[in-house]
């Protein structure tokens, strides 16, 4: 039975999250629009905005997103098929490994690709030694290829997750029925299986495109100065030139497109957002590859996935541990130890270790905030009233807003001269909370909704007060999804770069900001420190991914 | 002693009248069964008594105290839910102990009660199991033990056997009956299944169209349903309209001929429009052609375990179903009379 609506009660629960959304989302966005439009009125926009540049940024954004998406489909669909249809040795390990990119911060991915294919990367080092060269022979850093590779690395896991899960859930008896009705195996696939998978394919493609379209860190760090997407241009115009009207115009265009895509995604059904990490798949539909063709297919895809998923990560780890000395390289923890010292030529006023502490602190605060808001929202939105559906929609909007746009909004709305310097850094966890809130909501709300109202009634008739019901029934049932949501919020905050890059100060850097800076500095010590910091985040991400998988596994086991 | 008094309860659901001025009483030691088709508001009535929902008007009185506004956790009534509503995060033992803990009992007091409750439902070895690992019948027992453990002052059961298959239901029904006789508290039992109601209840209240249509002992309610609708609800589908042609003994003129009835519940006068309910045991075979006998053609004869269900064409497109201990081939003509004891007469409603 559906919870009766009681709008007074709901509104009082929803008041805090709504005020949060207004202050930290709607008002900053409105301020972007106001600043941009007021300049248009003053007729300054013609001077401030170079429309040629806007157009070229937009068309490049679109172009690279399309290319990246096509490449991702090329690898992701076969990989989804592999996971949705076949059993093979090491499947579970590969499944967990393929979820890693989903939570890995862009700076870490950028560092990984730099360690693999950059001028100091393994491939170049190896080739230089083999061929006796003094300059790196492979120059795909700062090229479109590097961007595309990183995007494929990132988004293949989305296709595996969404399409693979749909495939595993697909009732294969439908295919069998088609075969007994006279369809060939190809006909059965195209007339029965494919149409049933189409919604999940479409929504995963759209999601991949959205992520590619709003990609920021990857393009900034792997693309180099000659490639500028809308996101990168917003950042450069704000941080380097303080051309706020232009940045505002760009982010309004960006917002329009991302909102459009988010709305399309929501219309398609939210399978893509529904279970944020890779679900366990039922084994019923799985079998070992039999024919030669199937064996070649599975081996090939496994090899590609291993190469794609493992090599940048492995390259990163080895780079951080192999210290370049005068007599060649040796295994050492020196780069890690360097993180504690504050070198004079350093960009920051503080040692990089301090950045790690800052990041942990921000991540802790932002997970607390987003969990608190998520819990209030989940309780407030239990009834299925029109007002609640409206609030639910509103809360999903930050998903369709790029982190950079959010950062710009915060920058324009909150920056009030030097006096604001003291409280300004606390905007960082607020921005992170806003970014992780939709995820938290998606994790907690369905579980709370799935608790039958009968169970609340049973507790009440057995003598539990309303608060007692929350404490003794809801929270114990919710704790697993709570932990899941907390881990999400924590890792999202730890790796967040787009919004943070607008809000961090040199004396209060976060670790992704520090990695970005150190990657751009000359000298092997700086480079090594960037690698070491990226490895620390990587380790945190791996731990939280394993924990997430374990939580998911327990839930799966309980349901079975 | 009147223990529970329900007075003039009115409740709407989605702008539909669900409970219209419902009043009844339950005595100490009495098992009352609310019987009615699904959607008749039985469960809502239970939730109002439990305090989980508020009536729009009317009162719930417990031992002379108006408890209409008392929150559910202060009422000391137990409610066993249709799908059991066991707490998925707790073991069997902890589920049963929940009500005791809520009432502030300490572990030393709780443990022996839980053991006794487990023994009562013969689940002693199940205490440390997860509730999700139990079968339907086992869950039902745990739910019952959980409802009884806190020693409630009133026990309510909402379709407690509804989710079980037939064989298990019949087995648990007799168990439940014995158990409910054992506990010394009033019981309100909600079901849509007459068999269950007849087995369990001291008194049956039939709920339909948001009102209580009839109340009485199971045998009374079954033998003398108060209206044609109730007759049909109890499975008496042979109904035909007619007009009273003679008052005493009562004779009714119907499209298929004149039918006698011994119905004495109402006074009828000549030309009253009435509805006749012919029970399936009314048929008396007539071998020598008596003048008053009906004749009809057997349409179908189905073995139904212990008796045959026979569909008979009564003429004028009327088909009646009878229960017989003999088999007749379809197509055979038979002559018979109808036992006036098994014909109930109702005044036709306008």
Is the pLDDT reported for residue A4 higher than 60? no
Local confidence band at B114 (pLDDT 50, 70, 90 cut-offs): very high
A148 Cβ contact list (under 8 Å, min separation 6): A64, A67, A68, A71
Nearest-CA distance B336 → chain A (Å): 52
- Percentage of chain A modeled with pLDDT above 90: 21
pLDDT at A41: 63
pLDDT at A77: 93
| Mean of the per-residue pLDDT values of chain A | 83
Local confidence band at A451 (pLDDT 50, 70, 90 cut-offs): confident
- State how far the Cα of B162 lies from the Cα of B158, in Å rounded to an integer: 9
Is the pLDDT reported for residue B204 higher than 90? yes
pLDDT digits (tens, 9 = 90+) for B308-341: 999 999 888 889 999 998 889 999 988 888 998 8
Cβ atoms of A88 and A493 closer than 8 Å: no
User: Does the beta-carbon distance from B52 to A468 stay under 8 Å?
Assistant: no
pLDDT at A48: 59
Give me the helix-helix angle, A403-414 and A230-239, nearest 10°.
20
A458 interaction partners in chain B (CB closer than 8 Å): 79, 81, 85-87, 146
User: Does the beta-carbon distance from B87 to A459 stay under 8 Å?
Assistant: yes
pLDDT at B82: 85
**Which secondary structure element, helix H or strand E, spans residue A369, and what is its range?**
helix A352-380
A409 Cβ contact list (under 8 Å, min separation 6): A25, A28, A29, A31, A32, A251
Q: Which of A4, A34, A25 is nearest to A391 (CA)?
A: A25
Closest-CA residue of A relative to B157 is A458
3-state percent helix, strand, coil for chain B, nearest multiple of 5: 25, 35, 40
Local confidence band at A270 (pLDDT 50, 70, 90 cut-offs): low
Please indicate if any CB of chain A lies within 8 Å of the CB of B52.
yes
User: Does the beta-carbon distance from B73 to A461 stay under 8 Å?
Assistant: yes
B110 interaction partners in chain A (CB closer than 8 Å): none
Cβ atoms of A528 and A338 closer than 8 Å: yes
pTM listed for this prediction:
0.78
Q: Please tell me which of the candidates B47, B98, B132 has its beta carbon nearest to residue A462.
A: B98
Highest mean pLDDT among A63-77, A214-228, A255-269, A413-427: A63-77
Which of B12, B73, B74 to mutate to probe the A interface, most A CBs <10 Å? Answer: B73
Is the pLDDT reported for residue A301 higher than 50? yes
Alpha-carbon distances of B157 from B23, B38, B94, B249, rounded to whole Å: 19, 15, 21, 45
Is the pLDDT reported for residue A402 higher than 50? yes
User: What number is the average pLDDT over the span A156-162?
Assistant: 88
pLDDT at A182: 72
Q: Is the ipTM of this complex over 0.85?
A: no
Q: What is the CA radius of gyration of chain B?
A: 25
CATH number of B233-347: 2.40.50.140
* Edge-to-edge strand ranges of the sheet holding B211-216: B77-80, B154-158, B187-191, B31-35, B203-208, B211-216
Those of residues 133-152 in B touching chain A at CB distance below 8 A are 146, 150
Mind spelling out the 3-state secondary structure of B210-231?
CEEEEEECHHHHHHCCCCHHHH
Local confidence band at A560 (pLDDT 50, 70, 90 cut-offs): very low
A457 interaction partners in chain B (CB closer than 8 Å): 47, 50, 52, 72, 79, 81, 85
pLDDT at A3: 47
Q: Which residue has the higher pLDDT, B132 or A371?
A: A371
| DSSP conformational letter for B78 | E
Local confidence band at B203 (pLDDT 50, 70, 90 cut-offs): very high
Is the pLDDT reported for residue A554 higher than 80? no
Local confidence band at B58 (pLDDT 50, 70, 90 cut-offs): very high
Q: Is B193 exposed, middle or buried (0-12, 13-18, 19+ CB in 10 A)?
A: middle
| DSSP conformational letter for B341 | G
Q: Which residue has the higher pLDDT, A66 or B103?
A: A66
Which of B15, B47, B72 to mutate to probe the A interface, most A CBs <10 Å? Answer: B72
Cβ atoms of A462 and B98 closer than 8 Å: yes
A33 Cβ contact list (under 8 Å, min separation 6): A248, A252
- State how far the Cα of A381 lies from the Cα of A290, in Å rounded to an integer: 49
- Pairing assessment for the beta strands B187-191 and B154-158 based on DSSP bridges: parallel
- For chain B, domain boundaries: 2-229, 233-347
A327 Cβ contact list (under 8 Å, min separation 6): none
User: What number is the average pLDDT over the span A538-549?
Assistant: 88
pLDDT at B24: 95
- State how far the Cα of A20 lies from the Cα of A373, in Å rounded to an integer: 9
pLDDT at A519: 81
User: What number is the average pLDDT over the span A212-228?
Assistant: 86
- State how far the Cα of A170 lies from the Cα of B300, in Å rounded to an integer: 46
- Could you please state the CATH topology (level 3) that the domain comprising A23-323+342-559 is classified under: MetI-like fold (1.10.3720)
Q: Which of A3, A460, A560 is nearest to B85 (CA)?
A: A460
pLDDT at B101: 87
Local confidence band at A40 (pLDDT 50, 70, 90 cut-offs): low
Alpha-carbon distances of A179 from A168, A226, A341, B56, rounded to whole Å: 19, 54, 69, 59
Q: Number of C-alpha atoms within 13 angstroms, CB side, residue A131?
A: 12
Q: Per DSSP, what are the bridge partners of residue B335? A: B295
pLDDT at A505: 78
Q: Which of A15, A454, A169 is nearest to B72 (CA)?
A: A454
Assess if CATH 3.90.1150.10 describes domain B2-229. no
Tally C-beta pairs within 8 A across A and B: 73
Is the pLDDT reported for residue A276 higher than 50? no
Local confidence band at A345 (pLDDT 50, 70, 90 cut-offs): low
- State how far the Cα of A201 lies from the Cα of A80, in Å rounded to an integer: 10
Task: Estimate to the nearest angstrom the gap between the alpha carbon of B197 and the chain centroid.
Answer: 4
Closest-CA residue of B relative to A455 is B85
Highest mean pLDDT among A90-104, A108-122, A323-337, B138-152: B138-152
- State how far the Cα of A449 lies from the Cα of A385, in Å rounded to an integer: 14
Which of B49, B102, B157 to mutate to probe the A interface, most A CBs <10 Å? Answer: B102
- Percentage of chain B modeled with pLDDT above 70: 98
Concatenate the DSSP letters of all residues of A97-124 into one string.
Answer: HHHHHHHS-HHHHHHHHHHHHSTTSHHH
Is the pLDDT reported for residue A58 higher than 80? yes
Is the pLDDT reported for residue A271 higher than 70? no
| Mean of the per-residue pLDDT values of chain B | 89
- For chain A, domain boundaries: 23-323+342-559
Is the pLDDT reported for residue A56 higher than 60? yes
User: What number is the average pLDDT over the span A432-454?
Assistant: 88
pLDDT at B164: 79
Alpha-carbon distances of A558 from A551, A553, B98, B207, rounded to whole Å: 11, 9, 21, 40
User: Does the beta-carbon distance from A461 to B98 stay under 8 Å?
Assistant: no
Of chain A, the end-to-end C-alpha distance in Å amounts to: 24
pLDDT at A28: 92
3-state secondary structure of B10: strand
Which of A448, A463, A476, A477 to mutate to probe the B interface, most B CBs <10 Å? Answer: A463
User: What number is the average pLDDT over the span A389-401?
Assistant: 82
- Percentage of chain A modeled with pLDDT above 70: 89
């Amino acid at each position: 039975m559906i919870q009766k609506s009681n709008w007074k009660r709901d509104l009082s629960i929803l008041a805090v999250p709504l005020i949060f959304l207004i202050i930290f989302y709607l008002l900053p966005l409105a301020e972007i629009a106001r600043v941009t439009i007021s300049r248009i009125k003053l007729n300054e926009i013609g001077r401030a905005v170079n429309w040629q540049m806007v157009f070229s940024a937009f068309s490049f954004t679109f172009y690279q997103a399309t290319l990246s998406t096509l490449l991702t489909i090329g690898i992701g669909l076969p990989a989804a098929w592999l996971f949705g249809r076949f059993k093979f040795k090491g499947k579970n390990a590969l499944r967990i490994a393929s979820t890693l990119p989903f939570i890995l911060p862009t700076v870490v991915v950028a560092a990984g690709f730099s360690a693999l294919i950059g001028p100091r990367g393994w491939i170049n080092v190896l080739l230089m030694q083999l061929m006796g060269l003094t300059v790196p022979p492979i120059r795909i850093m700062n090229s479109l290829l590097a961007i595309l590779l990183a995007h494929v690395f990132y988004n293949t896991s989305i296709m595996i997750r969404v399409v693979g899960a749909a495939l595993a859930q697909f009732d294969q008896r439908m295919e069998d029925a088609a075969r007994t009705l006279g369809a060939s195996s190809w006909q059965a696939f195209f007339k029965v299986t494919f149409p049933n998978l189409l919604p999940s394919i479409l929504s995963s493609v759209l999601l991949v495109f959205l992520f590619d379209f709003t990609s920021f860190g990857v393009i900034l760090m792997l693309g180099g100065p000659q490639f500028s997407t809308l996101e990168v241009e917003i950042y450069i115009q704000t941080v380097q030139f303080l051309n706020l009207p232009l940045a505002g115009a760009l982010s309004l265009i960006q917002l329009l497109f991302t909102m459009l895509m988010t709305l399309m995604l929501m219309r398609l059904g939210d399978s893509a957002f529904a279970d944020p990490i890779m679900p366990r798949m039922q084994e019923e539909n799985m079998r070992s590859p039999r024919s030669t063709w199937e064996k070649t297919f599975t081996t090939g895809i496994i090899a590609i996935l291993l190469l794609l998923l493992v090599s940048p990560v492995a390259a990163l780890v080895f780079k951080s541990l192999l210290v370049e000395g005068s007599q060649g390289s040796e295994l050492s923890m020196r780069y890690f130890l360097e993180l504690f010292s504050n070198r004079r030529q350093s960009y920051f006023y503080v040692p990089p270790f301090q950045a790690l502490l800052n990041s942990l602190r921000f991540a802790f605060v932002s997970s607390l905030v987003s969990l608190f808001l998520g819990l209030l929202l989940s309780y407030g939105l239990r009834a299925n009233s029109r007002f609640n559906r409206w609030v639910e929609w509103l809360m999903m909007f930050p998903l369709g807003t790029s982190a950079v746009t959010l950062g710009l909004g915060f920058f324009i709305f909150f920056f009030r001269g030097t006096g604001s310097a003291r409280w300004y850094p606390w905007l960082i966890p607020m921005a992170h909370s806003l970014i992780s809130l939709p995820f938290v909501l998606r994790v907690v709300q369905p579980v709370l909704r799935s608790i039958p109202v009968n169970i609340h009634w049973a507790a009440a008739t057995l003598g539990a007060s309303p608060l007692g019901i929350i404490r003794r029934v809801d929270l114990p049932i919710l704790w697993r999804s709570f932990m899941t949501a907390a881990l999400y919020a924590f890792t999202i905050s730890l790796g967040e770069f787009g919004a943070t890059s607008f809000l961090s100060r040199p004396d209060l850097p976060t670790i992704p900001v520090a990695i970005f800076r150190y990657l751009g500095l000359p000298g092997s010590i700086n480079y090594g420190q960037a690698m070491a910091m990226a490895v620390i985040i990587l380790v945190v991400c791996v731990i939280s991914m394993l924990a997430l998988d374990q939580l998911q596994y327990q839930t799966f086991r309980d349901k079975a | 002693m009147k223990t529970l008094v329900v007075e003039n309860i009115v409740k709407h659901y989605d702008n539909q009248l669900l409970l219209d001025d419902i009043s009844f009483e339950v005595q100490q030691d009495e098992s009352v069964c609310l019987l009615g088709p699904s959607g008749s508001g039985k469960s809502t009535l239970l939730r109002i008594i439990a305090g989980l929902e508020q009536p729009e008007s009317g009162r719930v009185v417990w031992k002379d105290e108006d408890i209409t506004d008392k929150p559910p956790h202060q009422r000391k009534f137990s409610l066993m839910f249709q799908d059991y509503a066991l707490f998925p995060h707790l073991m069997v033992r902890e589920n049963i102990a929940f009500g005791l803990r809520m009432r502030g009992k300490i572990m030393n007091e709780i443990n022996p009660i839980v053991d006794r409750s487990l023994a009562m439902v013969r689940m002693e070895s199940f205490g440390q199991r997860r509730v999700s690992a139990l079968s339907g019948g086992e869950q039902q027992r745990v739910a019952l033990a959980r409802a009884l453990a806190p020693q409630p002052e009133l026990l309510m059961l909402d379709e407690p056997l509804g989710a079980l298959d037939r064989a298990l239901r019949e087995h648990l029904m007799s168990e439940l009956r014995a158990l409910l006789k054992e506990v010394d508290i009033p019981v309100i039992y909600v079901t849509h299944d007459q068999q269950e109601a007849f087995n369990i209840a001291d008194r049956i209240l039939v709920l339909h169209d948001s009102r209580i249509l009839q109340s009485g002992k199971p045998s009374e309610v079954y033998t003398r349903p108060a209206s044609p609708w109730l007759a049909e609800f109890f499975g008496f589908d042979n109904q035909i309209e007619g007009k009273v042609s003679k008052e005493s003994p009562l004779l009714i003129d119907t499209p298929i001929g004149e039918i006698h009835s011994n119905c004495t519940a109402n006074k009828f006068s000549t030309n009253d429009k009435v509805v006749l309910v012919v029970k399936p045991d009314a048929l008396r075979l007539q071998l020598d052609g008596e003048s008053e006998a009906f004749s009809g053609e057997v349409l179908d004869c189905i073995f139904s375990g212990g008796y045959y269900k026979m569909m008979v064409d009564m003429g004028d497109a009327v088909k009646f179903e009878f229960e017989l201990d003999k088999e007749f081939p379809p197509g055979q003509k038979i002559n018979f009379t109808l036992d006036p004891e098994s014909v109930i007469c109702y005044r036709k409603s306008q």
